[in-house]
């Protein structure tokens, strides 16, 4: 593979503060550094630096306790899933350096399920209809509250 490496010394410096890390890269004091998504945009703009973003399988998951109300109703869970604006969440949380997912298996893998790209007005209308079906009625202030239910009114077909 071309013989031994030409590197004589390797110095590893821990720099926790992102602005200091960026300044070290720009000044040439640092040759390599991991940067936060918020600093990545600055790296992209600097012609002396090169941003490399390797694929990473790291997921953040929103999980529901499906044994307790209101998440014991599949319609409520589906409505909330439809209401999440994943693109906006990725933009705000990690400055756009991620791919939104709608399933447990991340997108981009051969076994990844096909997912829709972004929320649409149809998603919002569908979520609204699901909440209404599940008994969450809209009050005059546009918030929702659960209708009073009797034990006989619980529709077991929507529990999973």
> What is the pTM assigned to this prediction?
0.63
Q: Are residues 90 and 49 in the same domain?
A: no
> Looking at the DSSP assignment, which residues form a beta bridge with residue 137?
145
Number of domains present in the structure of the chain:
2
Q: Which residue has the higher pLDDT, 68 or 148?
A: 68
Where does the pLDDT of residue 122 fall: very low under 50, low under 70, confident under 90, or very high at 90 and above? Answer: confident
62 assigned to some structural domain:
no
69 assigned to some structural domain:
no
Cα separation, 145 vs 115, whole angstroms: 30
66 assigned to some structural domain:
no
pLDDT at 160: 58
Q: Are residues 90 and 38 in the same domain?
A: no
pLDDT at 54: 75
60 assigned to some structural domain:
no
Report whether pLDDT(120) > 70: no
* Residue span of the structural domain in which 138 resides: 74-158
Write the pLDDT tens digit of every residue in 16-51: 898 899 999 999 999 899 888 888 889 999 999 999
Write the pLDDT tens digit of every residue in 65-113: 999 999 999 999 999 989 888 889 888 888 888 888 777 777 777 888 7
- Cα 126–chain centre separation: 21
Where does the pLDDT of residue 136 fall: very low under 50, low under 70, confident under 90, or very high at 90 and above? Answer: very high
> Looking at the DSSP assignment, which residues form a beta bridge with residue 136?
146
Report whether pLDDT(5) > 90: no
Backbone angles phi, psi at 149, to 5 degrees: -125, 145
Q: Are residues 82 and 150 in the same domain?
A: yes
The structure tokens 């009625």 sit at 137
| Mean pLDDT of all residues in 129-136 | 93
């Amino acid at each position: 593979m071309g013989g031994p490496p030409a590197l004589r010394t390797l110095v590893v410096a821990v720099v926790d503060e992102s602005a200091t890390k960026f300044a070290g890269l720009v000044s040439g004091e640092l040759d390599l550094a991991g940067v936060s998504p918020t600093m990545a945009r600055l790296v992209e703009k600097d012609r002396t630096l090169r941003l490399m973003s390797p694929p990473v399988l790291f997921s953040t998951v929103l999980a529901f306790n499906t044994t307790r109300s209101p998440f014991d109703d599949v319609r409520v869970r589906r409505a909330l899933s439809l209401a999440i604006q994943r693109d906006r969440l990725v933009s705000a949380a990690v400055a756009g350096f991620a791919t939104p997912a709608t399933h447990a298996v991340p997108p981009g893998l051969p076994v990844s399920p096909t997912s829709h790209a972004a929320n649409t007005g149809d998603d919002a209308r569908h979520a609204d209809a699901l909440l209404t079906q599940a008994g969450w009625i809209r009050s005059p202030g546009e918030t929702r509250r659960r209708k009073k239910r009797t034990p006989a009114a619980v529709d077991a077909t929507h529990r999973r």
